[in-house]
Amino acid sequence: MMGTLAGFLVKEMKQALRDPRMRILLFLAPIVQIILFGVAISNDVKNIRLFVQFDSADTVLQHVSERALASRWFLPANADRNSDPFELLRAGKIDAAVIPPPGGLTRAIARGDADLQLLVNATNVLQAQSVDSYLRNIITRVVQEDMKLNPPESPIRFDTRVLYNATLETSYFMVPGVMAMLMIINTMILTSMSISREKEMGTFEMLISAPVTVSEVVFGKTIPYMVLGMATLPLILGVAVIGFHVPMRGSLLMLTIASLAFVCTAVAIGTLISTFAQNQQQSMMGGFLFLFPAVLFSGLFFPIENMPIAMKWIAYADPVTHYLALLRNIMLKGGELDFALQRIGILVLMALVSGYISFRRFHTTLR
């Protein structure tokens, strides 16, 4: 019995490791992923784009700006000093703003009437909480040093306005991310598994011998999953809005167009994965190896701003990153047209590139 079992185990190991692609998926891919994640992923909040309104006479607020930038948590906003901070936040050009009282913070402290307003973008709840805490500590410390005050004393009254998620509901932050995950799982994985199943069962050869063109094969195997992917949108959107009370402040049409672009991209990537896989096992592994980093690099759990520049390029090449940004922008902020057009354009470009490569590989296979 032991001899039979040993022979069976050896046979299964050889069968699993016979294909070079499977050896790469099992041994090389995990090493690459652990290196990428170890470098890129961090819970620290940094690289926050900060806008501080001050004039040359407001020395205290100028020192606040300098101290904030020196802390390496914040980056200077690329905006004119007289710009409207609300519009900058809405357009996604800044993450936080410090607005002084009339006449500047220095004069207000001298008058004993220092009301300082903090504006924080709360589409990312974890980031918003940290940014508010960082700014309060920096401002309090600078004021105490400049005005020679004892630590318990602080003449400033903070007025923090948390925009787009006033109650800091975690569901507003997480549910759009879950929506993006469900959309890509229901499209990319199913598409790649469907085509790989044809190869594994031997019916793929029937397609080769049948009087069909490459385009008919590709569209016939992908369009149904685009339709199924879009069919899930109203279901998960309804649960998000009705069940979790996530607001829907933007255009439903804009959200539908963004979802369609993402579904086409996901189906194209699933088709591309299937062209490399010889069976469902390889297809599943390939889909997982794409999906796992795609979710982690998307900004769902870890801020993209924290990543090194080289890792940010990987995040920006991730379709989930752009769809998640679209969901949060449209649902929570109302949807900026320029922002939406830019991200949708990127998704369409990804779909075209992935679809073209898949088409070329299918053309080679079916010739």
pLDDT score recorded for residue 8? 45
State the residue for tokens 């397609």.
207
pLDDT score recorded for residue 349? 96
Domain 48-163 homologous superfamily, CATH? abc type-2 transporter like domain (3.40.1710.10)
The sign of the torsion formed by the CA atoms of 260, 262, 265, 271 equals negative
CA 24 – CA 332 distance, rounded (Å): 41
Angle (CA) 231-232-235 rounded to 5° is 110
CA 306 – CA 73 distance, rounded (Å): 9
Bridge partners (DSSP) of residue 48 are: 74
Domain boundaries along the sequence of the chain: 48-163, 170-366
pLDDT score recorded for residue 262? 95
How do residues 218-265 score in pLDDT, each as one tens digit? 777 788 888 888 888 888 888 888 888 888 999 999 999 999 999 999
Query: What counts of helices (H) and strands (E) characterise the chain?
Result: 16, 5
pLDDT score recorded for residue 70? 84
By residue count, the chain amounts to 367
* Whether 330 contacts 304, CB under 8 Å: no
Going by their DSSP bridges, the two strands 96-99 and 156-163 should be labelled as: unpaired
Angle (CA) 331-131-103 rounded to 5° is 100
State the residue for tokens 């992935």.
354
Q: Is 94 helix (H, G, I), strand (E, B) or coil?
A: coil
pLDDT score recorded for residue 204? 61
Strand stretches in 3-153, DSSP E: 48-52, 74-76, 96-99, 114-121
CA 305 – CA 45 distance, rounded (Å): 8
- Show the low-confidence residues of the chain (pLDDT under 70): 1-19, 21-45, 146-155, 198-214, 363-367
Strand stretches in 2-73, DSSP E: 48-52
* Whether 269 contacts 259, CB under 8 Å: no
